[in-house]
């Protein structure tokens, strides 16, 4: 058909808005949203017709386009999803699932006035960081601590407080990019520090650090390389060695731990990773995330010597980076669990999934497989595989796991998309053309939702 003819046949926005379909759309959305989407669809359709990409428009073409946009909008809202990727700390999926006590803590303060910045003991304005500071100190041996929005903020705050206009010595092996826009060299310069890189990518010796010290030196920064690991001919001084050097020259040693591990996980075969307590012993300040291996809410914790924490408390930037009562309550509740290390592994979902025995994962997989076979039209077989820790933690660790290999009449990419658009979105893992659900990162309490979603997908597949 000719372009001009098709264009003439297109309905107006108002015609579409008055259709019976539109009544249904508006019921599930709002009039202005539906109107905007209809506008967009008509614009895009006109454009495509003019470009010769559309030469025929059947009756329900426009409705389908609107419905697709409405569905896209609906799935984009912030909502729970089922993490079937097997990546335990999936940054795109919001990292740590909170312990129950942290959820309760948020609930208890959310719709209530709190003593966030009111010190009941003196009946006056108080310090929002005092209690959490004492708790972190109790658990890590630090003198004091402070909490900000995330670890990126913690690092920026520390650097800008301590090393503005000063040289900051760092090993070339630690000039890493943590993800997207967080690159250590850029962070140092953007916070006013002067980058003084020493050593080489694979080897840095203590004398490299010592040779770089002069009157302009502000201190030494250590950075956990997190998502990246050098193996083979490589070496870098540990915090203890650096601490001796820093003591000799009266310089602060600060350490971006990234994940920050509270408990020693050696017995689970992760390879030794120093705990926060071990690092606090050597370093003047350590910084770590609240929602990586700690297993709490998004936050950045700075712990260490009181004299530096006090300086940070006077930095104007702190006001812009501070955490609210909900984050603080969830973090406090999570930290409290660590008072009883024996039970922390069970009570903190991140640690539970991380250390879950392969047999337990298999039990879950068998249970879900039976449910899928009994209650849906999908085929499901169990396969062995590996899960990842994620969140830039333990990049070389592969956790043995069991997966459900999900089979349906649709292609794997279509099935994967449908799972993501389901009532309870399931984020699966595609491997070698197959769709897998990794049971290590799936909670048994979500099995019912998975079945509902699979039946939802089956209906759409047959359409
Ligand atoms: C993850 C990470 C950060 C950033 O932490 P966020 O809590 O994500 O802001 C900074 N430094 C290191 C070494 C990290 O691993």
Q: pLDDT tens digits for 360-374?
A: 999 999 999 999 999
Residue nearest to atom 15 of ligand 1 (CA): 258
- In angstroms, the CA 453 to CA 82 distance is 10
CA of 224 to the centre of ligand 1 (A): 9
Q: The whole model's pTM is what?
A: 0.95
The pLDDT value recorded for residue 57 is: 86
Which residues lie closer than 8 Å to 54 by C-beta, 6 or more apart? 6, 45, 48
82-119 pLDDT per residue, tens: 999 999 999 999 999 999 999 999 999 999 999 999 99
pLDDT class of 255 with cuts at 50, 70, 90: very high
Residue nearest to atom 5 of ligand 1 (CA): 151
Question: From the alpha carbon of 226, which atom of ligand 1 is closest?
Answer: 15
Contact 254, 162 (CB under 8 A): yes
pLDDT at 180 over 80: no
Contact 390, 91 (CB under 8 A): yes
pLDDT at 462 over 80: no
393 lines ligand 1 (CB under 6 A): no
Residue nearest to atom 14 of ligand 1 (CA): 258
Phi, psi of 409 (to 5 degrees): -75, -20
CA of 36 to the centre of ligand 1 (A): 39
95 lines ligand 1 (CB under 6 A): no
Question: From the alpha carbon of 300, which atom of ligand 1 is closest?
Answer: 7
CA of 273 to the centre of ligand 1 (A): 16
261-303 pLDDT per residue, tens: 999 999 898 888 999 999 999 999 999 999 999 999 999 999 9
CA of 132 to the centre of ligand 1 (A): 20
Residue nearest to atom 13 of ligand 1 (CA): 258
The pLDDT value recorded for residue 277 is: 98
254 lines ligand 1 (CB under 6 A): no
Q: What is the mean pLDDT of the chain?
A: 96
CA of 38 to the centre of ligand 1 (A): 42
Contact 105, 337 (CB under 8 A): no
Mutate to test the pocket of ligand 1, among 184, 256, 276 (most ligand atoms within 8 A of CB): 256
CA of 178 to the centre of ligand 1 (A): 6
Contact 219, 254 (CB under 8 A): yes
Q: Is 79 left (phi over 0), alpha (psi -120 to 50) or beta?
A: beta
114-153 pLDDT per residue, tens: 999 999 999 999 999 999 999 999 999 999 999 999 999 9
260 lines ligand 1 (CB under 6 A): no
Element spanning 97, H or E: none
The pLDDT value recorded for residue 59 is: 72
Residue nearest to atom 6 of ligand 1 (CA): 151
CA of 236 to the centre of ligand 1 (A): 20
222-250 pLDDT per residue, tens: 999 998 888 899 999 999 999 999 999 99
256 lines ligand 1 (CB under 6 A): yes
The pLDDT value recorded for residue 58 is: 79
Q: Which residue has the higher pLDDT, 54 or 439?
A: 439
Which segment of 138-152, 175-189, 201-215, 374-388 scores lowest on mean pLDDT? 175-189
The residue written with tokens 């990419």 in the block is: 413
CA atoms within 13 A on the CB side of 237: 25
225 lines ligand 1 (CB under 6 A): no
CA of 308 to the centre of ligand 1 (A): 21
CA proximity to 380, closest of 391, 369, 371: 369
């Amino acid at each position: 058909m000719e372009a001009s003819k098709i264009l003439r046949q297109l309905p107006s926005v108002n015609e579409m808005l008055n259709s019976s379909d539109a009544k249904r759309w508006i019921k599930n959305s709002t009039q202005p949203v539906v109107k905007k989407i209809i506008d967009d669809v008509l614009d895009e359709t006109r454009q495509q017709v003019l470009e010769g990409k559309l030469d025929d428009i059947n009756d329900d073409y426009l409705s389908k386009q609107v419905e697709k946009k409405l569905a896209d909008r609906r799935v984009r809202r912030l909502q729970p999803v089922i993490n079937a990727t097997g990546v335990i700390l999936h940054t795109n999926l919001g990292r740590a699932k909170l312990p129950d006590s942290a959820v309760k803590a948020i609930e208890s303060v959310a719709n209530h006035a709190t003593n966030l910045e009111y010190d009941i003991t003196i009946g006056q304005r108080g310090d929002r960081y005092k209690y959490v500071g004492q708790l972190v100190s109790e658990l890590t041996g630090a003198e004091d601590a402070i909490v900000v929005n995330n670890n990126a903020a913690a690092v920026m705050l520390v650097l800008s407080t301590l090393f503005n206009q000063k040289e900051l010595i760092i090993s070339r092996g630690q000039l890493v990019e943590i993800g997207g826009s967080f690159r250590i060299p850029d962070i140092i310069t953007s916070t006013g520090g002067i980058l003084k890189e020493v050593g080489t990518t694979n080897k840095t010796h203590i004398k490299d650090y010592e040779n770089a010290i002069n009157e302009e030196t502000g201190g030494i920064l250590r950075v956990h390389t997190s998502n990246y690991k050098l193996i083979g001919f490589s070496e870098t001084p540990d915090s203890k060695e650096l601490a001796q050097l820093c003591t000799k020259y009266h310089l602060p040693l600060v350490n971006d731990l990234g994940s920050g591990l509270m408990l020693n996980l050696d017995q689970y075969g992760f390879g030794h990773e120093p705990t926060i307590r071990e690092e606090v012993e050597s370093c003047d300040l350590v910084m770590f995330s609240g929602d990586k291996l700690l297993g709490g809410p998004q936050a950045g914790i700075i712990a260490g010597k009181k004299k530096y924490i006090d300086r940070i408390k006077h930095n104007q930037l702190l006001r812009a980076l501070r955490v609210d009562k909900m984050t603080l309550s969830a973090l406090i509740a999570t930290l409290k669990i660590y008072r009883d290390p024996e039970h922390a592994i069970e009570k903190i979902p991140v640690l539970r999934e991380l250390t879950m025995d392969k047999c337990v994962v298999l039990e879950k997989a068998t249970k879900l497989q039976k449910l899928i076979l009994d209650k849906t039209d999908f085929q499901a077989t169990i396969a062995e595989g590996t899960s990842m820790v994620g969140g830039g933690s333990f990049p070389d660790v592969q956790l043995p796991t069991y997966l459900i290999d999900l089979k349906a009449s649709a292609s794997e990419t279509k099935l994967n998309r449908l799972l993501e658009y389901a009532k309870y979105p399931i984020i699966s893992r595609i491997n070698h053309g197959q769709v897998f659900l990794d049971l290590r990162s799936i909670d048994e309490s979500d099995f019912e939702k998975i079945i509902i979603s699979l039946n939802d997908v089956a209906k759409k597949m047959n359409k």
